[in-house]
Each structure stands twice: as C-alpha cells, then as structure tokens.
Amino acid sequence: MTKQYGYARVSTAEQNLEAQIQALEQAGAVEIYKDKATGKNTNREGLQSLLNTIQRGDTLIVTKMDRMARNVKEGIQLIDDLTEKGIKLHVLNMGMFDDSPTSRLIRNILLSVADWERGMILERQKEGIAVAKANGKYKGKPKKYTDKNPALVHALELFANRDTNRKTVKEIVEITKVSRASLYNIAKEKGIT
C-alpha cells in the first residue's frame, strides 16, 4: 500500500515549521519528517530517516523545491534517486515532478535559484558582519565554553595531567562531554600540552 510522506525544513532552530506542516497535512501527507538545518547538503537527520522509510510507489510532498535542497548538485542527485526508486515528488507550489524533460528543466531552474538565494544570503551576512566589526559592534559567535565552565575546567585538568592519571583524550572527552576539537583548541590557547 502506497503512502504520502511530507518533508518540512527550516534553516535555523528559531524558525517555525508549523505553516509547512499544515500545508503538508492538507495535501494528504500521513507522516511528516522535519529538519531544522541548512539546505546546503542532504545530510540531515529527518531527510535521511525519510529516505530510509519511503518506498517505490510512495509520494513525497514538500511545500517548495528549496525545502529539499539549496545546492544544485545534491538536489538534482536527491531527486534523481527518488525518481529511479519509483517515488513521486509533489512540490505544492509547482505540482508533480517526474522524469520528463520539462520536469528536469524546472527542477534545475528552481534548484539553481535556491542555490543563488543561499549565496546571496551568505554574502549579505558577511557584509553585515564586516560593517558591525568596523563599527565595533560585532562580538562574534558566543563561546560555548568559558573559563567558568566546570566541564571545561575538569577536562583541562585531566588533559594537563594525562601522564599521571593515564587518561586518553578519548576518555577525557567521554567523561567531561567537552568535544575533542574544543579541548585541543582551548588547551593550545592556554599553553597546555
């Protein structure tokens, strides 16, 4: 028995999926997969879970093409993979997509526009950061770990005393839940070897 699946995506945790979910439900999606992640690549938890579930004859519904991908190459590959598996793609603001030359043309145009939009957003963001830095108003991304963070303090202590405590970096990371990259970077900043 074939099913209709929905896929909703927004780029950041602050954005809301509700409008997409409502539109997908109204279009007949019985199961909806969601992501709050960038569309620059297809390595997203919700999307990958959907791709592992959806089967031949099923329909995938999205509100707009850019919800699938904002990268032309990966978007084309994703849609080609769905088509080859016999999965129908219904983009609510465009209609059904198949393997016809017209569908491929429209798909390529829409993915190119999404990729261009993403590039423009990043360009404006960089310009805004440059202006904020020039005006002394840009502080950068807040640091996850401060000198007062107990997990970091513990991790650095264990790291500094590896010779005596016989802890590997892997063990220190597991114990403190401080990422390996952060531990190495902060230890280097503080001159701990």
CA-based nearest residue to 113, from 69, 83, 55, 48: 69
Of the candidates 11, 103, 112, 179, the residue annotated as catalytic is 11
Distance CA 12, CA 10 (A): 6
pLDDT the model gives residue 144? 72
Residue ranges and CATH numbers for the domains of the chain are 4-117 (3.40.50.1390), 150-189 (no CATH)
Distance CA 79, CA 51 (A): 11
Query: Residue 20 in contact with residue 63, Cβ under 8 Å?
Result: yes
Q: Is the pTM of this model over 0.75?
A: no
Counting DSSP H helices and E strands in the chain, the numbers are: 8, 5
Q: Is 11 a catalytic residue?
A: yes
pLDDT tens across 68-111, in order? Answer: 888 888 888 898 999 999 999 999 988 898 888 888 898 889 88
Distance CA 190, CA 126 (A): 30
pLDDT the model gives residue 100? 86
